Structure 1
Amino acid sequence: MYKKRLAIPYVIWSGIFVIVPVLIILYYSFFEKGVFTLNGYKQVFNPRYVNNIMDSVVIALISTVICLLLAYPLAMILSSKQISGKGVILLLVILPMWMNSLLRTYAWGYLLQDTGVVNNILEGIGLPTIQFLYKKSAIVFGNVYNFFPFMVLPIYNVLCKIDQSVIEASYDLGADKITTFKKVILPLSMPGVVTGVVMVFMPALTTFLVSRLLGGGKTTLLGDLIEQQFKITGDWAFGSALSVILMVIILITLVFMSKKDSLEKGGGLF
């Protein structure tokens, strides 16, 4: 009974700041001026907006894959007991998170602009300048830079908790390093991978800050589209419908990743 009473403030907080906003979004997605309508959802299937949604999903997936490919080897290196100075490397990974994401993105926009520091360096050493900004690749770069720590830390945390005796047992049974990684380390690290993928994919899918500052507004993503409906066009029904679609995509991602994690755990080590 005492524990249930302690949970009451959290239940109230969740109800006010999670459940109530979701219910309001659902209401506005189905009702316009008090009249039931599906116009908001019909607009979602407009080819123009479908392309925006697909661009958002593709860019978020690419950003997530790049983060995973970069973060997993780094987490493996950091989790090794032989490496020294891992605290410094971890600090360098975490340090950007201490700054506001808006300032970080603005800084990269200044560094990568046509007359920015990077192009000035290229020009100074006799190399041709490159247009880094206002492309989809710039948005991917911004996503990877901003969300990379959210991939590294969960994987690193799980790898550090793997019992070394299990790995040693794999070697004793004749497995080489590649087989040990595929059959032991990778399956045991899947909870961290799943957490990292979810923590990168979701903000990469919903961001509108990176696409605006580094993409120059040339690529309209799902987050930009939702913001426009509420702040500019005033079409709350369409904006709410897009928000519901976004929640559905995120829920599908969570279900898929949780099932994948369950299959990995249930499959055993060998």
Structure 2
Amino acid sequence: MSNTNGRTAIVTGAARGIGAAVARRLVEDGFSVALLDLDEAACQPVVDAIGSAGGRALAVGVDISDEAGVEAAVTQVVTELGDPAVLVNNAGITRDNLLFKMSADDWESVMKVHLRGAFLMSRAVQRYMTEQRWGRIVNLSSTSALGNRGQANYAAAKAGIQGFTKTLAIELGKFGVTANAIAPGFIETEMTAATAARIGVSFEEFKAHAAAQIPVGRTGNPEDIAHTVSFLVSEGAGFVSGQVIYVAGGPRA
């Protein structure tokens, strides 16, 4: 992809799953990449693998819901890799339960990571993007934004991400900064494996049941999302902004 060499990208929740796949893909596309995660040590194997392949990457430990922590993390990225031109807000957690069983803490925890975290990270990096007159923000939503039993907190947060994304597109567009959201369907990650365990079925059975309902006949993998991120942060996607792309193996309303 053109004109990515020398640019810096930040990916949150990058220790594993979708975040790690996105980080690896962005390095392939020519970016230097900062992998942010609550567990910095968990990012190191990905960073080491990127370095061994000739790429440039940095692991940074941060709680993205902590304002001071976010500012310090972004400053570290700027110092060690350069001004960020790409931000992928991928970090997320689940605290699933039916509404009448869901605690206020479970609600707040999900909102803090998904919404407060995306807000703090986006606010921290936008100053560098607007100064450069070029930037790409990609936020991870979910098909759960359309509603999903047992996920009132997660669904609300992911729907909020979509409104947040559209507003960023309106506010930042005149500075050459685009903002888009990706809403994955069933992706094979530790999070979906944990969901299978929670409801008492094997992961293979869980995947087979999901695949039977997906038009393309399979479940997704983290690389499916990474490919979509790769397009959205490319030079050629400069006229795509404020969109929600459902990467789910079929249409979603």
Which TM bucket (shorter chain)? Answer: under 0.3
TM-score between the two structures when normalised by the length of structure 2: 0.27
Q: Which structure has greater helix proportion?
A: 1
TM-score by length of 1: 0.26
Which protein has the bigger strand share? 2
Higher relative contact order (CA 8 A, sep 6+): 1
